[in-house]
Amino acid sequence: MSGHSPVICHFLNLLLYFQMVQIKRICCIGAGYVGGPTCSVIAQMCPEITVTVVDVNESRIKAWNSETLPIYEPGLKEVVESCRNTNLFFSTDIDSAIRDADLVFISVNTPTKTYGMGKGRAADLKFIEACARRIVEVSDGYKIVTEKSTVPVRAAESIRRIFDANTKPSLNLHVLSNPEFLAEGTAVKDLKEPDRVLIGGDETTEGQAAIRALCAVYEHWVPKERIITTNTWSSELSKLTANAFLAQRISSINSISALCEATGADVEEVAKAIGMDQRIGSKFLKASVGFGGSCFQKDVLNLVYLCEALNLPEVASYWQQVIDMNEYQRRRFACRIIDCLFNTVTGKKIALLGFSFKKDTGDTRESSSIYISKYLLDEGAKLFIYDPKVVKEQIVYDLSQPNISEDNPQRVSELVTVTTDPYDACQSAHALVICTEWDMFKELDYEKIYKKMLKPAFIFDGRRLLDHLHPLLQEIGFQIETIGKKVTPARIPYNPAPVGPRVPPTEPPTKKSKA
């Protein structure tokens, strides 16, 4: 090609790379909430690609290969069963899967550091680094290594430095960033009908070829106009920024909910009014006891730490307020429960319905239920907890963490009872607290519950789930306290009309549309 211009040579080289790089085998390191669903959908949508999800946790891999998957997500079981052991495999043989793969996803946990510099804010990248070292150790030939985990800006550069420092003649590794934008409870739908797919890489010929190869995988089912390519740093920062903006909206409407309770306004009416403004929109304006989950708090704190490290204290302070407002909302709700129960909950039975951080998932990470439970346990309340998808062992584990039961670890065994029936949880309770917006809680027989509770019987609706039932619940005799609204007790003669079905459903209904 010596007779061609540099531009033509570059184009021909790029075309050659595009032809050479084809992804036929994918390995995903990490079988959690990101790796499992993502690779299951890829396998279903790309039957010609072999997908292997690996993890060091043997029990988790066994669960993925069983009838009972390790995570609950609507529609996920059907996706897994449609291609498992055909072109979708779950294994603990990490090295073999890496060696055989053309593309390696890194989908391991990136928790917030609990010690050392950046404690409580910075992301702990020890698992990312371990993956990078293992990949370079066992690999040969050409491979594309892609960040799927949420990572701080320039994490891809760190991975690349590890690769460059341990290179060998037979090895050619390229690093991409491909952050996930999944909402738990709608993950399968989000994967099959994404708002966008974001892929970041470097601007070299090889980097662009790697980007194009990953684009080709998603183009099996995602329209090309929804696949966005950027440089690596923009991709990494876009993920953090997306979660920070969503968390910010929740904290913003929650701050207004406090104002509504003080003035007599209704936060639902305020949210509807401002949400009709196309510049604002209606999404994520639902007042509640606060956001939870694996990403929002972690990513905002990561953003705060990044800003501090780059000497941007005003920006860091701005985003820290999002976290502070979320904690304030949880604490404020717990204080409201205590105040309404005559300023003491010591020895009182409180039924807490819902422990996962949102409906349609069994994930409890950073769930507001954990922190509300902590505040009530600190006051000596006896909690009876029910959640349709969270097992007893997980609830006990979460409430036994040092930051939750720091004064007396025995408090959980003495004061917490996990029930398998919502009606049992409410038997002889002073109050019923709704912390998760499971649809089944709308359908409970509240007349039956009222008769079993101590009087006055309180409902604390932390999710505004029962707004439509307020007149009937007041007619029965409940005192209702809800986020962002003053509820005046109705002076209506009691009419024993049933509010919901007499028999509680055993499972929450399947979600049919995106939340």
Annotated binding site for NAD(+), which residues? 30-35, 55, 60, 108-112, 149-150, 184, 295-298, 365
Rounded to whole angstroms, the Cα distance separating 482 from 480 reads 6
Contact 263, 313 (CB under 8 A): no
Rounded to whole angstroms, the Cα distance separating 348 from 379 reads 10
* Paired residues of 26 in beta bridges: 51, 103
Taking CA 459 as the corner, what is the angle to CA 457 and CA 465, rounded to the nearest 5 degrees?
Answer: 155
Residues making up the annotated binding site for substrate are 180-184, 239-243, 279, 286-292, 357-358, 463
Pairing of strands 227-230, 416-418: unpaired
User: Who's near 360: CB < 8 A, 6+ residues apart?
Assistant: 72, 73, 74, 184, 185, 186, 508, 511, 515
SS (H, E, C) 424-454: HHHCCCCEEEECCCCHHHHHCCHHHHHHHCC
- Catalytic member of 46, 260, 295, 435: 295
Residue 295 appears among annotated catalytic residues:
yes
Beta strand ranges found along 274-415 (DSSP E): 349-353, 382-386
DSSP H helices, 193-295, are 205-218, 232-263, 267-275
Pairing of strands 141-147, 458-461: unpaired
Write the single-letter amino acid at 170.
S
Rounded to whole angstroms, the Cα distance separating 396 from 308 reads 36
Rounded to whole angstroms, the Cα distance separating 511 from 439 reads 9
Element (H, E) at 417: strand 416-418
Rounded to whole angstroms, the Cα distance separating 360 from 309 reads 37
User: Who's near 241: CB < 8 A, 6+ residues apart?
Assistant: 303
Residues making up the annotated binding site are 30-35, 55, 60, 108-112, 149-150, 180-184, 239-243, 279, 286-292, 295-298, 357-358, 365, 463
Residue 456: is the preceding peptide bond cis (ω within 30°)? yes
Contact 76, 32 (CB under 8 A): no
Indicate which residues carry an active-site annotation: 295
